[in-house]
Amino acid sequence: MPPKPKKQTANSLYLQKTKTGISGLDEITAGGLPKGRPSLICGAAGCGKTLLSLEFIFRGASEFGEPGVFMAFEEKADELAVNVSSLGFDLAKLQKEKLIKVDHVHIDRSEIEETGEYDLDGLFIRLGYAIDSIGAKRVVLDTIENIFAGLNNQTILRAELRRLFAWLKEKGVTTIITGEKGDGSLTRQGLEEYVSDCVILLDHRVVNQISTRLLRVVKYRGSLHGTNEYPFLIDEEGISVLPVTSLLLDHEVSTERISTGIPSLDKMLGGRGFFRGSSVLVSGTAGTGKTSIAALFANETCRRKERCLYFAFEESPQQIIRNMSSIGVDLNTHIKKGFLEMHSSRPTAYGLEMHLVDIHKKIKRFRPQTVILDPITNLVTVGTVSEVKSMLIRLIDYLQAEQITVLFTALSLNTILNEQTDEGVSSLVDAWVLVRDIESNGERNRGLYIMKSRGMKHSNQVREFVITDTGLDLVDVYLGSDGVIIGSAREAQQLNEVTSEVLRKHALGKKDLEIQRKRKVLQAKIESLNEEFESVRDELNKSYIEEDLRREVMEKNRKQLIRNRTSKNADNGKG
């Protein structure tokens, strides 16, 4: 990780620096080039030395109010102006405003005579006048080899070279001197790198027909600096250097959860979705719906009125927009509203490092809350598995430091190479969703499950992944005697269950009727028995009543007989 520039104070002992204004370079050099000292930019032809030094002059004049002198020994002033106009650098305007002075010095080798009195006094006078005429704070000499063209006396060359660097320090201007790379040394003379306070090496490599530009700070007296090779990009906005190599794992994390755009998937993730600022991998074989999941995630981001940056490595934006409309996702509306930006390119357009620089630059410009890369496995065509993993580590670290949620899609194949890719990437991400084909009953269906999701409760069950006209849905799978039942077999099973339910209800209805009929028969029998019981009881009661009545009558008769007999006896006594 490039060191952070330390705050300078008036009495600070730290080396004062001049900002270059070049994106990323100031971070690598911890604040810029050494102020008032010469720096060497070296490299082979075509690696970007002149462009970098010109941008140093242009940014200084336009952004920092520091006039600059560009002394060219190869190209004329009008040629330089035309060359950088495509990058938006208006040298003519700044020359009119006396913020930049471009001076072309022609040196003819045939005019150089090696004598003991050879010196650079003429160059010093001309350069000194140019510096004083506009009050220059920055100077570029492009290139140093032309100054000493044809001079073979090493003693004179070394003496004049040291004198040139000493004179530039005395003038107090921050200087860039460009130099051609030599055989076995950073420059042709092999001395410039030793007398320069800062040395930056540019390289332009071509591997497997893919070119990559790289920058490395070879030395920097009095200052900490990034020591790795950093890829840089030359585009319509100038030079962009990617300062990120491997950030420390000390970034802030969020506990906020964001929806995936698929309610049933959110439910599998505890009902709330992924963590904001996390990294998510969706992998699966071709045709399993990885891009559809990514599109719904982008759609949900835009619905929250947040920005989403979509990088596609297989399909054009128009293709994706058309295809996603078939499942009810309107991405074009989000593009028009400025919430969604889509970029498409073939991985073979340039190397991995250049892809990383391009992605980094677009993220800094658009400032999205969500980034999607679809698919990352295509990057293996321009690099090894370990190189792709290294690139993704740097990208994930940067995005997590910025609290940007990133979703990768990855193609899975039944090959060792792709298994390595999946394993390498899946270990980096916070959540991994796997979509796979499930073949049964002569048809192909999709199954989805969550391999891992750090820091949250999540389902461990397989769900059938269904793509419909209105989006994506996850349905519960059925378990049969032969395993998981999906697709038409699941639908058949559902129909069988519905039929069984109807038949069960019908059977229950028949049983209910039979029970009701038997209840009525039993109730009738009970009523009949009750009537019979009442009849018997009445009969018995009748017998009891008659007996009681007979006894009562007989008692009355007996008493009457007694009374009659008593009365008769009384009458006989009187007679």
Active site residues: 74, 314
| CB contact at 8 A, 143 and 178 | yes
- Cα–Cα distance for residue pair 177/1, rounded to 1 Å: 27
The pair phi, psi for residue 520, each rounded to 5°, is -65, -40
- Cα–Cα distance for residue pair 555/561, rounded to 1 Å: 10
Residue in the structure block whose two tokens are 């990208």? 395
Kindly give the pairing relationship between strand 279-284 and strand 405-411.
parallel
Half-sphere exposure of 312 (CA within 13 A, CB side): 19
3-state secondary structure 488-511: HHHHHHHHHHHHHHHHHHHHHHHH
- Cα–Cα distance for residue pair 389/160, rounded to 1 Å: 49
- Cα–Cα distance for residue pair 522/356, rounded to 1 Å: 88
Query: Strand order of the sheet with strand 174-180?
Result: 100-104, 68-72, 138-142, 174-180, 38-43, 198-207, 210-220, 230-235, 238-241
How does DSSP assign 7-33, residue by residue? PP-TT--SPPEE----BTHHHHTTSSE
> CA nearest 491: which of 459, 437, 450, 445?
445
Half-sphere exposure of 212 (CA within 13 A, CB side): 21
Alpha-carbon separation of residue 256 from 272, 403, 455, 561, 575 (angstroms): 9, 11, 12, 116, 136
Largest alpha-carbon pair distance within the chain?
211
